[in-house]
Amino acid sequence: MKNEIAQKFKNLYGAEPLVVRSPGRINIIGEHTDYNDGFVLPAAIDKAAYLAIALRDDDEIHLKAEDMNETFSISIKELKPVGDIGWPNYILGSVAQFIKKGIPLKGFNALLTSDVPIGAGLSSSAAVECATTFALNELFSTHYDRIEMVKMSQKAEHEYAGVMCGIMDQFASMMGKKDHVIKLDCHSLEYEYVPFKLDGIKILLLDTNIKHSLASSEYNTRRKECAQAVEWIKEHEPNVNSLRDVTEEMLDKYVFPKDELIDKRSRFVVQEINRLQKACEDLKKGDIDAMGKKMFATHDGLSEMYSVSCDELDYLINFVRNNDAVIGARMMGGGFGGCTINLVKENAVPGLIKDISAQYEKHNGIKLDAYVVSISDGTEIM
Ligand code: GLA
């Protein structure tokens, strides 16, 4: 991949580039918990964004997205989010973070290519943000550490893509470690790598091919619903600062009587934070079956309480629910489309893909895509 993109860059811009790879991510359990100061259990995958980049002598930024055959250019002095095409924003948003820190940036040329499916809930945008931040940190010798670069990449998403995402996606892309999941405390940012090499079990992603167009507006709404619950509880429990600090008893007392919908949303999050802790214990004990059951429970909560699933995601989960070869499965990521994550016994994978693809297409009139992924290292120079 490195030689290929470097050669294309040379043909296009006539210079030798730096090439940075930054992966997409999966998340085993702990969904919609990151912006509630809870825990998540993500990992970087072997699908990534690749950014080839070299400095220019002027203040211009020239970009090309190889896969879409689109170009974009802007002067650093006029840096702002762009409206009609989305992908430059992930790069420009990262540039903006350096400028906000007072770094005197020069212009650059960049060529982007990625095999992270877009809109599939695999954080294709975080991959581009992290690749850009990492590359600029290198080119301008700014020496930010990885955690600082995670935060900068998250801000790029907030400010240039308008999604008030939590920290999980950028953290997983930047900090991933081969064959390990990251147990991340989104409040303190303390983290632990937990080995995740399951003998005879594969990670199968099934992509509904429903693009989550509702996702960003509904995502921001969920954030507000969670904040509302915290505000009501805080009137009585001043030490509560996020749903991380909340118990179901507090919800019974202070939220349910006021608003059943807000109660349902926040109760899912409180349960999910606890579920993740127990799932991590299962994983460390090697009790994969118990962890898998919790993944199904997470799906049900996301679908029925948090209302971020859709018919196609539910269809895929119901299809595998009683299949003995499927240890656990759930929708993954922000929701309203994208992928399900399935832990499947290796020898059953080809048969399952064949069956579920045929049935999905028949039932929903849409093609299903299937990816068997493995857990990879995070952002790196190639
Ligand atoms: C999106 C966001 C993440 C996280 C997930 C849901 O991927 O970018 O920060 O909130 O949704 O868990």
Digit-coded pLDDT (tens) for 278-301: 999 999 999 999 999 999 999 999
Average pLDDT score over residue span 343-348? 98
| pLDDT of 213 | 66
Atom of ligand 1 nearest to the CA of 33: 12
Atom number in ligand 1 closest to CA 121: 7
- pLDDT bracket for residue 197 (50, 70, 90): confident
**Hey, which of 39, 169, 170, 243 would you mutate to test ligand 1's pocket, going by the most ligand atoms within 8 Å of its Cβ?**
169
Average pLDDT over residues 359-372: 97
Entry pTM: 0.96
Taking the centre of ligand 1 as the mean of its atom positions, its distance from the CA of residue 165, in whole angstroms, is 6
Pocket test of ligand 1: the residue of 25, 122, 168, 306 to mutate, having most ligand atoms within 8 Å of its CB, is 168
Catalytic residue among 37, 59, 145, 169: 169
User: Can you tell me which atom of ligand 1 is nearest the CA of 32?
Assistant: 12
- Atom 8 of ligand 1, nearest CA residue: 165
For residue 163, the model assigns a pLDDT of 87
Q: Distance between CA atoms of 282 and 272, rounded to whole angstroms?
A: 15
Q: What is the pLDDT of residues 349-359, one digit of tens each?
A: 999 999 999 99
Q: How many angstroms is it from 55 CA to the middle of ligand 1?
A: 32
Q: What percent of the chain has pLDDT over 90?
A: 93
Q: What is the DSSP string of 71-107?
A: EEEEEGGG----SS-SHHHHHHHHHHHHHHTT-----
Residue type, 9: F
Residue among 358, 34, 24 nearest 188 (CA): 34
Q: What average pLDDT does the segment 190-203 reach?
A: 94
The pick from 122, 219, 223 for probing ligand 1's pocket by mutation, whose C-beta has the most ligand atoms within 8 angstroms, reads 219
CB 179 within 8 A of CB 195: yes
Interval between CA 342 and ligand 1 midpoint (Å)? 18
Task: Work out the pLDDT band at 136, boundaries 50, 70, 90.
Answer: very high
CA 381 to ligand 1 center in whole angstroms? 26
What is the pLDDT, as a whole number, of residue 20? Answer: 98
Q: How far is the CA of 129 from the centre of ligand 1 (A)?
A: 15
Query: What is the percent of the chain where pLDDT is above 70?
Result: 99
pLDDT in tens, 209-237: 998 766 678 989 999 999 999 999 999 99
- Say how many Å lie between the CA of residue 371 and the centre of ligand 1: 20
The one-letter amino acid at 6 = A
Q: Evaluate whether 340 touches 331 at the Cβ level (below 8 Å).
A: yes
Nearest CA to ligand 1 atom 11: 334
Active site residue 169: yes
How far apart CA 356 and CA 373 sit, in angstroms, is: 18
Residues with C-beta less than 6 Å from any ligand 1 atom: 31-32, 34-35, 123, 165-166, 168-169, 333-334
The pLDDT of residue 214:
61
User: Closest residue (by CA) to atom 9 of ligand 1?
Assistant: 166
pLDDT at 316 over 70: yes
pLDDT band at 271 (very low <50, low <70, confident <90, very high): very high
Which is the closest atom of ligand 1 to the Cα of 157? 8
Cα–Cα dist 158/146, whole Å = 19
- Ligand 1 atom with the smallest distance to the CA of 30 is 12
Residues in a beta bridge with 236 = none
Mean pLDDT of 311-339: 97
pLDDT digit string, tens, across residues 23-59: 999 999 999 999 999 999 999 999 999 999 999 999 9
The closest residue, in CA terms, to atom 2 on ligand 1 is 165
pLDDT at 338: 95
d(CA 72, CA 87): 10
pLDDT classification of 83: cutoffs 50, 70, 90: confident
